[in-house]
Amino acid sequence: MSSPTTNRVALVTGGSGGIGRAVAERLARDGIAVAIHYAGRKEKADETVQAITAEGGRAIAVGGDVADEAAMATAFDAVESAFGGLDVVVHTAGIMVLSPIATLDLNDLDRVHRTNIRGTFVVDQQAARRVREGGAIVNFSTSVTRTQLPTYGAYVASKAAVESLTLILARELRGRDVTVNAVAPGPTATPLFLDGKDENTVDRFAKATPLERLGQPGDIAETVAFLAGPARWVNGQVLFANGGLA
């Protein structure tokens, strides 16, 4: 990793593993100081911090429930205290419960919506108050809002709400020079996607894209790095990073 060439600072929620970790490490390679957020896996967040600092980057770990406004205010405070401000917020944290709508436990529905909708609202609210001029806010949706796969009802409903929040916040921040976008990954080789799927199912998802492979966390991280850095004219958009999945 090259020496830092920027004073920009990023907070990545859910940065302890999967896509979040890939995003944190990719932003660090651009010289951005990164705060790795975790909810319950501090040791994983610490591993990400160590990987970044070992390459000459700047990183800290911050904890908290994304749906708890007090906890997230404290996490944002910690980032600003450590690095002097905040320029980029990437909100990857989320959960997924799969079930047909007819049989879904409504407690699971509430849990998904608390993390994915309220959590996004809480993080975006803090980001809207704190991100500096020239900054970027990046939320996470899913390509299943287009593919409409059975059993994804609760998850897709939550992510459709995330897309709406994203587009409205972009317009509410008029005049601030802060972009707000969402990334909608397709099937990506992470524990969240692979858990509970047999090999045939995974192969079917891989072959569904014209590129005939699953996405990798690094593929999604490149999209985020674009939105967090040079993409100053991309605002109020949902970018589908899915290898051409319909």
**Residues annotated as catalytic (active site), given as ranges:** 155
Burial 180-219 (b: 16+ CB within 10 A, else e): bbbbbbbbbbbeebeeeeeeeeeeebbebbeeeebbebeb
E strands in 74-217: 88-91, 136-140, 179-185
Q: If DSSP codes are grouped into helix, strand and coil, which group holds residue 63?
A: strand
Treating both helix axes as pointing N-terminal to C-terminal, what angle do 153-172 and 106-113 enclose, rounded to 10 degrees? 30
